[in-house]
Structure 1
Amino acid sequence: MNDFEIITLMHTYCRPANSPAEARFIDRFLKPLGVTKDKFGNHFIKIGENPIVLWSSHTDTVHTRDGIQALDYDGKYLKLPDDSQSSCLGADCTAGIWVMTEMIKAKVPGLYVFHAAEEIGCIGSRAIAEQAPEFLAGIKAAVAFDRWGLDSVITHQGTRTASDAFGESMMAQLPARFKLDPTGLVTDTKQYRTIVPECTNISVGYFDHHKTTERLDVEHLIELRDHMVKFDVSKLVIERDPNIIPLKTEAPVFAPAPRRRPAFSSLAAFRSLLATDIADLVWTYPRLVAQFLEEEMGVSFDELEHYIQHGEMPGLLFDDEDEDEDVGEQPVRRRA
């Protein structure tokens, strides 16, 4: 199969965390590469001796149902057909997985980790950071392929997680349009920020993630792959000290415009100090939480209202009961 066919086939799998489709996806695309599964559900493989870079993506998607989906391609974007009942494309993080599999085949040095359950709270990466930090011994940089858009090298995930010098050394080996971006929020590499000096996230070309309108710029993804299979990790600049923790009063950076950021009153700041669970934070910062759900997590008003009323998210058309034995035979509609 060519690049487009493999990318498309990967995106037919709807993979909620710990679902049968996620397991089949791993069996088909990752196990032939020689990955090992850890006790937290992550899959990993080491290329080269004493790697200094951890390359990261995650095997789950935010699909509301397990199964297989049909796809559409308009000559630029891979996306769902107009009549699809699926909840999202799943390029977050299927696109990143494809880049990493290509890097493994090209034998680019690194510790490759396909994290488990990122979409439900960075479960796999958090477990490594909290219960097995020795796994990260010798790692100087953690790079996730899990960012929307075409040009981001993330330096902040709520707080600074990578130095500008490191980001610029990444940019030097990426397509020329890439630039430093301080507006990241959360992905797996953020969990390593107090252990690994440089933790970043790289744009892989998807837009409207977690939504039915999600789409993937396939040309961007292939161009990114072409750069990453030639990546020279020895040229990376490592500058940030993970032992220096930013003050809690440091304001997080949110996109796209400062005017959309809610004001933090002294009362809110006091309440946040007393917060013990998510409900406390929602009560203290309702508009900020709403912005995060809508813009970063892709939750629409209708989806949230449906969940509140019914206790579940809207479902998929395709599920295991309807799935053909050969999951590679789902149609891809091409438009002229």
Structure 2
Amino acid sequence: MSNDLEMIKAMLSHRRPFGSKTEAAYIDRFLTPLGVQTDKFGNRFLIVGEERPTILWSSHTDSVHKDEGFQKIEMTGSKIHLPKKSKSNCLGADDAAGNFIMIKMIDAKVPGLYVFHYGEEVGCRGSGGIANETPEFLDGIKAAVAFDRRGFDSVITHQRGRTASDKFAMSVCAQLPARFKPDPTGVLTDTKIYMGIVPECSNISVGYENEHHDDETQCVDHLFELRDHMIKIDASKFVIERDPKGNISEVPQRSHRSGYRRPTSDLGISKLRTLRRMRLRDLEDLVWKYPRQVAQYLNDMNVGVDELDDAIQFANRMPAEREPERTLLDLLNDDEDMFAA
């Protein structure tokens, strides 16, 4: 355990913005010795065992660090985090933790196609390249499983729309710690990009929290427990059910301009606040990865610059406890409320 603890600490000491020298150094140190190959999109990949694998294991090498270089980290109890006065904007467990799990699986010779994706944090560039230009790379793949989910108990079935069947998720959970369960609240990682090609596309919790922020943490107890299960995983027991060419999206109901809606009539205020925080964090992820597309969407919805700026300034002044179920786009639809402050 001590060697693995030093390894994950060393991984997290690298700040890895997309395309940076530190990301390259990280890849050279931790992935190159595995014998990985590099495709034209910058993805590192390796086949273990089967000549024609049916499972793709996924993680990504870049982080959302603003600056390249190295950072100091600290550990309190079982959680690794940044020092209080750190100038770094995130820990980078998203997705060094996923890289760590895959490295340990490779060491244990768990069969599969391992892909360390390039450019996930800047729009899933590596996976997008594969899906759009070399889809034959995925021939024979029945399931694409990422290690890029926050928390401690998720096997993702939906990344906005359905990307994996419940039966598949349950068959994965059966080989993980008992707390794991199917989770339909996923947002986006590289495996979603393959949802029209690969039947089952999922994501597994690797124990980080508050990703993309300076209070991000990584629980090593969870990470090492997951490692112990994944090095023994038997993917032949996975249930493959979803049709990637089917039209089973099962996305939450959407209103015209106010984003996703969840039933709220039977929820208390505290639950509404929790849902709002979850929804905002999910939206932050999408805005970070797809700023141009978000701007285009707002333009298509006739949201002007001045209108959006006014709404943002109003939202910044609005007390957090006030009507937590309302969103920024609700304010855009309600001029009286927006200018009442």
Q: 1:24 to 1:243 in 2, by over 3 A?
A: same
Separation in structure 1 between the aligned mates of residue 263 and residue 44 of structure 2, nearest angstrom: 38
Instruction: Please give the root-mean-square deviation of Cα atoms over the aligned residues, in Å.
Output: 2.3
SS of 1:237's equivalent in the other structure is coil
- 95, 98, 114: which is aligned to 2:97? 95
Quote how far apart the aligned CAs of 1:256 are.
11
SS of 1:282's equivalent in the other structure is helix
- 229, 234, 237: which is aligned to 2:236? 234
SS of 1:231's equivalent in the other structure is coil
1:194–1:245 Cα contact (<8 Å) kept = no
1:274-313 matches, within 5 Å, as 277-283=293-299, 284=301
Letter in 1 for 2:169: G
Separation in structure 2 between the aligned mates of residue 145 and residue 51 of structure 1, nearest angstrom: 18
- What is the match of residue 313 of structure 2? none
2:162–2:249 Cα contact (<8 Å) kept = no
- What is the match of residue 161 of structure 1? 163
Quote how far apart the aligned CAs of 1:175 are.
0.7
1:50-89 matches, within 5 Å, as 50-89=52-91
Quote how far apart the aligned CAs of 1:76 are.
1.5
Letter in 2 for 1:105: D
- What is the match of residue 120 of structure 2? 118
- 203, 212, 215: which is aligned to 2:214? 212
Separation in structure 2 between the aligned mates of residue 150 and residue 242 of structure 1, nearest angstrom: 27
1:1-336 matches, within 5 Å, as 2-49=3-50, 50-246=52-248, 251=253, 258-259=263-264, 277-283=293-299, 284=301
1:51–1:111 Cα contact (<8 Å) kept = yes
Letter in 2 for 1:188: D
SS of 1:2's equivalent in the other structure is helix
1:91–1:216 Cα contact (<8 Å) kept = yes
- What is the match of residue 328 of structure 2? none
Separation in structure 2 between the aligned mates of residue 58 and residue 256 of structure 1, nearest angstrom: 31
Quote how far apart the aligned CAs of 1:51 are.
1.0
Letter in 2 for 1:93: D
Separation in structure 1 between the aligned mates of residue 108 and residue 96 of structure 2, nearest angstrom: 19
Separation in structure 2 between the aligned mates of residue 203 and residue 256 of structure 1, nearest angstrom: 25
Higher relative contact order (CA 8 A, sep 6+): 1
Quote how far apart the aligned CAs of 1:245 are.
2.7
1:183–1:255 Cα contact (<8 Å) kept = no
Alpha-carbon displacement from aligned partner over 1:5-28 (angstroms, at most 9, x marks no partner): 001000000000000000000100
Letter in 2 for 1:73: M
Q: 1:248 to 1:171 in 2, by over 3 A?
A: closer
Separation in structure 2 between the aligned mates of residue 134 and residue 179 of structure 1, nearest angstrom: 32
SS of 2:152's equivalent in the other structure is coil
Letter in 2 for 1:27: D
Separation in structure 2 between the aligned mates of residue 88 and residue 45 of structure 1, nearest angstrom: 29
Q: 1:285 to 1:214 in 2, by over 3 A?
A: farther
Separation in structure 1 between the aligned mates of residue 219 and residue 85 of structure 2, nearest angstrom: 21
Alpha-carbon displacement from aligned partner over 1:26-62 (angstroms, at most 9, x marks no partner): 1000000000000000000000122110000000000
Separation in structure 2 between the aligned mates of residue 94 and residue 256 of structure 1, nearest angstrom: 33
Separation in structure 2 between the aligned mates of residue 277 and residue 58 of structure 1, nearest angstrom: 22
Quote how far apart the aligned CAs of 1:281 are.
1.6
**Fraction of identical pairs, as percent:** 56
Separation in structure 2 between the aligned mates of residue 231 and residue 37 of structure 1, nearest angstrom: 26
- What is the match of residue 306 of structure 1? none
SS of 2:176's equivalent in the other structure is coil
Q: TM-score, normalised by structure 1?
A: 0.77
The runs of 4+ residues in structure 1 deviating greater than 4 Å are 247-250, 254-261
Quote how far apart the aligned CAs of 1:257 are.
6.1
Quote how far apart the aligned CAs of 1:255 are.
9.7
55-64 or 238-247, which deviates more: 238-247
Q: What are structure 1's unaligned runs of at least 5 residues?
A: 262-275, 291-300, 302-336
Letter in 2 for 1:23: A
SS of 1:144's equivalent in the other structure is strand
SS of 1:242's equivalent in the other structure is coil
2:148–2:206 Cα contact (<8 Å) kept = yes
Separation in structure 2 between the aligned mates of residue 113 and residue 10 of structure 1, nearest angstrom: 18
Quote how far apart the aligned CAs of 1:280 are.
3.4
SS of 1:44's equivalent in the other structure is strand
Separation in structure 2 between the aligned mates of residue 143 and residue 228 of structure 1, nearest angstrom: 12
Separation in structure 1 between the aligned mates of residue 261 and residue 65 of structure 2, nearest angstrom: 26
